[in-house]
Amino acid sequence: MFRKTALICLPLAALVVLISLSLVSSWPGNRTSTQKEIPPQEPTPSAFRQLTDLAGRSVTLPENINRFVLMRGLALYDLAALLGDQLDEKLVGWDSSLQSSDRDAYDKFVARFPGLKQIPLLGDSLRDGVSAEAVLALQPDVVIAGTYMVGQTKCLEQLEQAGVPVLYLNSDDPFRDPQKSLLLLGKVFQQEPRAREIVDWVDREFAVVQERMSGLDGPIPSIYVEAGTSGAGRYGNTFGSNLQGQRVNWGSILSQLRCQNVAKDVSGAYGMGVIQPEFLLTSNPSVIVITGACWTAHPESLRLGYDARPEPALETLRQYENRPGWSELDAIQNGRLYGLNTRLGSHVTAFAAVQQLTKWLYPREFSDLNPQQRLQEFHERFMPIEYSGTWMVELKAP
């Protein structure tokens, strides 16, 4: 009996000794230099991230954006350049602004991406016609809007209260803001190298004008720019400053070129308002530019864009020469009445608008500029749709 007990105790004693030696050798002070430490585990990436939008707000977004709603349909240009063939893969809803005020662009994108036609149109965001309930039903990871909607759109306020991230883009300063917006979108969709490539290319196009214009001297030409929404029969909006006194969009462009904007004191919502005809005639601008697009509700408007043809655009432009008193203006007498697509000033394509305005203001000094060719190259490099149509026209002196 004793022998049997002894046989059982011996292995137990050996086990105790082995455990004791193991504990002693593992004590920090007793480790040898050859022993390897287990590296600390990398922390698990957070499922969320924080970005600062162009309204200066901190926005918390999911790491991966799989569903987004576009409350500024006109921003499809910038998203198309960034996302390319993947443009329609994550878009689950958008407002109707592209369809109503840039129809040929809408048709062009739908022809290239037929799935866009199946994506719900949510209404007119400019008229606060989008329902928060309709957006919530789409379960977006983020809603993309424009800074001009801040505090102006009840739907966006309701979405934020419901916990839906709203990200604001900006285009007030066309020289810089579209690039900032694109870089922000690059972060949102994890396409930062692509965004940087586009922005660097665009910045070089702006530099062509900025560097050379800084060396100009001599008389400063005056200019009047009017939105051709209503055609020649009624004065349309011109571009001065918004109700906060800021130069935005076309008003911002003109303030940064070497020119005198005769409508700089006109103010209104979104930086637009109608000039007094008598004041314009007295100002006698040396250059007049009418902006055009494809406004479906205004068949009399100046049509420019992807589906526009030069002959009808020129015919519409000629009607402006017949406005009371215009035949006496220097711009008309010298054949300096022009048409320019209005959407160019709101997107990353603003470089083409700036180059064209500069060439019209200083035709001799910038005769080598070819903004139409640069716009076409931008499409070939970055856009998933082909360049087409008529974007800029000019009437020659008789």
| Per-residue model confidence (pLDDT) at position 398 | 59
* pLDDT score of 270: 86
Q: What domain range is 102 assigned to?
A: 48-169
Residues 278 and 343 both lie in one domain: yes
Last-in-domain residue among 150, 169, 188: 169
Q: Are residues 243 and 146 in the same domain?
A: no
Q: Where are the alpha helices (DSSP H) in 141-276?
A: 154-161, 177-188, 192-213, 250-255
What pLDDT does 54 receive?
98
* Residue 364: inside a domain: yes
Q: Are residues 91 and 153 in the same domain?
A: yes
Supply the mean pLDDT for the chain.
89
CATH number, domain containing residue 324 = 3.40.50.1980
**Is 211 domain-assigned?**
no
How many Å from the N-terminal Cα to the C-terminal Cα in the chain?
130
pLDDT at 24 over 80: no
What stretches of the chain adopt beta strand conformation (E)? 48-52, 58-62, 68-70, 91-94, 142-146, 166-169, 222-227, 238-239, 260-261, 272-273, 287-292, 337-341, 392-395
Q: Which pLDDT tens digit goes with each residue over 76-88?
A: 999 999 999 999 9
- Domain check: are 165 and 242 in the same one? no
Residue, of 289 and 19, whose pLDDT is higher: 289
d(CA 91, CA 122): 12
161 & 239 share domain: no
Cα gap 166→71, rounded to integer Å: 10
Single-letter code of the amino acid located at 159: L
**Which pLDDT band, with edges at 50, 70 and 90, does 397 fall under?**
low
- The closest of 254, 250, 252, 191 to 220, measured between CA atoms, is 254
Section 40-58 average pLDDT: 76
165: amino acid identity, one letter: P
